[in-house]
Amino acid sequence: AVCMDGTPPAYHMDPGSGAGKKSWIVNLEGGGWCESVTACMYRKGSRLGSSNLMERQLEFRGILSSNPAENPDFYSWNRVMIRYCDGASFAGEGYDAGSRVYFRGQRIFNAAIQHLLSIGMSSADQVLLAGGSAGGLSAILHCDQFGAFFAGRSTTVKCLADAGLFLDAVDVAGGHTLRSYFGGVVATHRVAQTLPRSCTGHLDATSCFFPQNIIGSIKTPIFLLNAAYDTWQIHESLAPDVADHGGAWRACKSNRLACNASQMKVLQAFREQMVGIVEGAFSRSKGNGFFINSCFTHGQSKVPATWNANGSPTIHNKSIAKSVSDWYFGRAEVRAIDCPYPCDHTCHNDI
């Protein structure tokens, strides 16, 4: 279980207190992927590939905050951030001898969870596996694996994926830019062997790296928090530079108000694809929840302004923090989907 350069994996932790001592949030850090040995060699010379290059301290904000005003339901829990240094959403299993790059994401995940169990998480009453972006995808991929660590115990186990619902979308040139990229990630990191068998039994490995093909069969309760106009996906999947040959999307990608009518039609179709996926097989499980708002952003759970600040995004007058908490604690069913842009005036857009 090592980072891409062979250094040990790492985590940051703020111990719980009082009523939160037997409750744990384990957050999987995000930070993109690398789809080739060359790209991974470059990445291993950064904090995303080597624990030697990571900050020794991080400020925990949003869902990881210890401030009860900012994080009323989880502030006193044991809060952990597992650092991301494998390049494949904690799912790789391999080694490239020529470049000396380790692809050990699955081992990192297993070792980190086993370690946390050994220092007290095994006696937890409540646990939440969370993650944002590539970490959100990881929370989806590993949700049932995480639940299995608590099999036979009375622990409440749930998962939260923030900005992890990466769609297998057709780009503006009619291609599949993200599918091609994910195919490189899956092949380079030899991810196929760690993916859910419920998916790989009938679909190719690249398809099983897309959440839409696995969320319907996850048994552990999971919550999807996503912007319907996910800005990372607009920039890198829907209208990437390689597909935008004449640069027609350049202005729209930097300012949503510059999008013309035909571009808005493409963006609305992307939203409809996301909504359709969430309302499909995923919604059939009573334990699942979702908050899909019509904002242009990427990642909302670890940012105070969007998690639980005065003026943070809401759907039906309920904030993200309240929605996640109501779902986790079973206080209410949370299945919130915003009306299409531009109806939501509570958004914090960052396109």
Q: Which amino acid is at 312?
A: S
pLDDT in the model for residue 351: 67
User: Is residue 347 a part of any domain in this protein?
Assistant: no
Does the annotation count 350 as an active-site position? no
User: Is residue 2 a part of any domain in this protein?
Assistant: no
pLDDT in the model for residue 150: 98
- Helices 105-118 and 134-148 sit at what angle, rounded to 10 degrees? 50
Query: Tens digits of per-residue pLDDT, 245-295?
Result: 999 999 999 999 999 999 999 999 999 999 999 999 899 999 999 999 999
DSSP line for 59-84: ---GGG---TTTSTTTTTSEEEEE--
For residue 112, the enclosing domain spans 11-337
pLDDT in the model for residue 350: 82
Does the annotation count 245 as an active-site position? no
Q: Are the CB atoms for 25 and 71 separated by under 8 Å?
A: no
User: Is residue 144 a part of any domain in this protein?
Assistant: yes
d(CA 31, CA 27): 13
Catalytic residue among 66, 133, 138, 325: 133
Count up the domains in the chain and report the number: 1
| Residue 161, helix vs strand vs coil | strand
User: Is residue 3 a part of any domain in this protein?
Assistant: no
Catalytic residue among 12, 142, 189, 298: 298
Q: Are the CB atoms for 145 and 112 separated by under 8 Å?
A: no
User: Is residue 304 a part of any domain in this protein?
Assistant: yes
User: Is residue 351 a part of any domain in this protein?
Assistant: no
Catalytic residue among 14, 162, 168, 230: 230
pTM of the model: 0.98
pLDDT in tens, the chain (351 residues): 999 999 999 999 999 999 999 999 999 999 999 999 999 999 999 999 999 999 999 999 999 999 999 999 999 999 999 999 999 999 999 999 999 999 999 999 999 999 999 999 999 999 999 999 999 999 999 999 999 999 999 999 999 999 999 999 999 999 999 999 999 999 999 999 999 999 999 999 999 999 999 999 999 999 999 999 999 999 999 999 999 999 999 999 999 999 999 999 999 999 999 999 999 989 999 999 999 999 999 999 999 999 998 999 999 999 999 999 999 999 999 999 999 999 999 999 886
Does the annotation count 12 as an active-site position? no
What CATH number does residue 203 fall under? 3.40.50
pLDDT in the model for residue 249: 98
User: Is residue 225 a part of any domain in this protein?
Assistant: yes
Q: Which of 54, 150, 40, 148 is nearest to 104 (CA)?
A: 40
Q: Are the CB atoms for 99 and 49 separated by under 8 Å?
A: no
Q: Among the residues of 119-176, which ranges form H helices?
A: 134-148
User: Is residue 280 a part of any domain in this protein?
Assistant: yes
